[in-house]
Chains A and B, each alone.
Chain A
Amino acid sequence: MRYMFRFGGRFRYGFQGRFKRGFGWGEGQLTLARMQTGQSGIVVQVLSGHGVIKRLGALGLRPGLRVTKVNSSFMRGPVTVQFGNTQVAIGFGMASRIVVEPIESRNERP
């Protein structure tokens, strides 16, 4: 089903796999794109170029920040996260490159 909708995005399919095989990240960590709706986590790192890191940073999204995922992304739609009183929508590909350390308690706002 998912492969019927292949459009755009160089990193869509290969990226996560590459990092898992190659560098990997800490045990239990996952990307924003893979987080559950309502789940919270601390941003660990942004696996991306300088430009994207600065753009996210300007919106306040940077390592050490606690974020909560607001929506579920359907068919690789954007991921919406909340931190403080700010909500930001992030394209699926970009969200797949933001690594978070999940916090177990659900349905709670930072």
Chain B
Amino acid sequence: MVTSNSSKSTGIKRVLLMGNPNVGKSVIFSRLTGTRVIASNYPGTTVGYSQGFMNLGEDRVEVIDVPGTYTLEPTSEAEEIASEMLNTGDLIINVVDATNLERNLYLTQQLLERDIPLVVALNIWDETEHRGIHIELDKLRERLGVPVIPTVAVSGQGIKELVTSIVSATSPDTPARSYDERWATIGGIISQVQRITHRHHTWREHLGDASVQPLAGGIIALVVLAVAFLVVRFIGENLIGYVLEPLFDTLWAPVVLRLSDILGGSGFFHDILIGKIVGGEVNFVESFGLLTTGLFVPFGMVLPYIISFYLVLGMFEDTGYLPRLAVLMDTLMHRLGLHGYAIIPSMLGLGCNVPAVLATRILESKRERFIAATLISIAIPCAALQAMIFGLVGEQGAQYVAIVFGTLFVVWIILGVIINRFARGFSPELLIEIPPYRMPPWRTVLQKLWMRVNGFLKEAIPIILGAVLVINILYTLGIFDAIADFASPVVTGLLGLPKEAVTALVIGFLRKDVALGMLAPLGMSANQLVVGSVVLAMFFPCVATFVVLLRELGVVNMLKSVAIMIATALLVGGALNLILQ
């Protein structure tokens, strides 16, 4: 046991967790370190590694969750990172999928050739039996020459033994070999240690096969996405209607009114903190004070949708459905110059554009990353903006919401086809592993939800409050009037919006949800709201997305991307204005 070694120092400072994608590596990581970490069913999320600490005897040992890789010969960015990090560790825990032993052993063979102690964690051990796979552990240990510990990361089985085995791990003397020699060795090992008996298809496998068929899969995808959408709306609306609005109305409104009295009902500080109080009642959407709208937008309107969206997305990620969606979408996405895999960052964009643009790294070529990032920032509204569209435009009728989303979807496709035609370079083909369907472990789903909601609260709320503060100060200084006068020919002439909407578009750079909220008190018609929402969604990325775009695309491509955004927004906004009039 670990305790018996507690007096000695092992000399191990850094442990690397390495393995193929989708083998439960991140779950083992969180078991070892207890740190909160994102563990998903599709490769790509762990580019940019996770880091944590575990106790080994008296030592505090650094543990690194290396991005999933199939080979040490780098074929993608994630694999490059993986093979670079290999040289920095003192010990490797090689996580292997017991139900896919043969393929997983290729990386193991490469790791054995390196001069670094190795332990093999034979994960997903619990599934081998009902899949008809029998592995003789002793023989496998003997053939590999390193400790092999069967584990079930999701339930925690075998983790203690894994930690214990670290202390005694060594590096066997294995000479470097060629690609074919490694596969020959693996063939020998497999024929000795693994026996597969016949078994029948499980219902999950039938469902899995059906969901990549063009027709059946298409129907399944429509049903799944529709149900997901309804669940998101259901949870979001009920959280707003039964929890947050009552909280604001019954508990917070009296406090605000009291404070308003204390501040004298008007004046500079009153306007900044509380905004306009009409008829002795607090209108949380339109009053535009720090303590009213500044708090109500993030907590009362956006947070409920953030929670429900990320809950559903997290379950999606961990079931293994997203790669299947990528297969189905491949044909369509090829017309946009992308392959099906790009659907994953695009869906992330429905939550927040920042992680979505970051996730475009899973695409191989620069061209694909440019197309995907530009399309995401133009045509995919984040959850915060969607929540506001549902809240404000939805008041006028569901058909107007449908026009907004329909327009964005059409723009996404047409713009993709156009950029695909003119952008240089070529887009490579799809090649992904399709993991089996799994029940999402509630533990990791809730952990991810917590991380993402926490991230929203920490990053968005200061910006939202800052934005409201800036708006109020600029209002008092009369700067907005100057900007509005300057830009009014375009905004009123081309888009048919009132002059005051200019300020909302400017504020859209800070926060799009707040900006849409600014349109609320202008008394615009339903059609004007539609044009305003569409233009706001498309015409410029918010500041956080802007920074990420700059970092991911570089200055030149970012400028191109932004030019496309502004041009498209004005064109589509103008056209929409003409059609709706």
Contacts and interface: CB of A to CB of B under 8 A. Distances in A.
Contacts of A8: 334-335, 337, 426-427
Interface stretch (B96-104, B233-241, B520-528): B96-104
Nearest to B194: A84
A93 B73 CA distance: 23
B506 to A, nearest CB: 39
Contacts of A77: 214, 327-328, 330-331
Contact of A86 (B326, B340, B433): B433
Nearest to B217: A71
Interface in B454-486: none
Query: Size range of the interface on B?
Result: 35 or more
B215 to A, nearest CB: 8
Q: Which of A55, A59, A62, A86 has the most CB of B within 10 A?
A: A86
Contacts of B242: none
A85 B436 CA distance: 8
Q: Which of A55, A84, A87 has the most CB of B within 10 A?
A: A87
A58 B70 contact: yes
A96 B575 CA distance: 43
B71 A60 contact: no
B5 interface: no
A44 B357 CA distance: 40
A71 B75 CA distance: 26
Interface of A (DSSP majority class): loop
Contacts of A1: none
A64 to B, nearest CB: 9
B339 A91 contact: yes
Contacts of A57: 71, 106, 179, 183
Contacts of A37: 213
Contact of B103 (A51, A80, A86, A92): A86
Interface string A67-108: 000111111111010001111111111100000000000000
B431 A90 contact: yes
A68 B209 CA distance: 12
B212 interface: yes
6 contacts: A51-B75, A71-B213, A72-B213, A80-B212, A87-B435, A89-B340
Interface of A: 7-10, 37, 51, 54-60, 62, 70-78, 80, 84-94
Given A77-B214, A87-B435, A87-B436, 7 more contacts: A57-B179, A78-B327, A78-B330, A88-B432, A89-B326, A89-B430, A94-B429
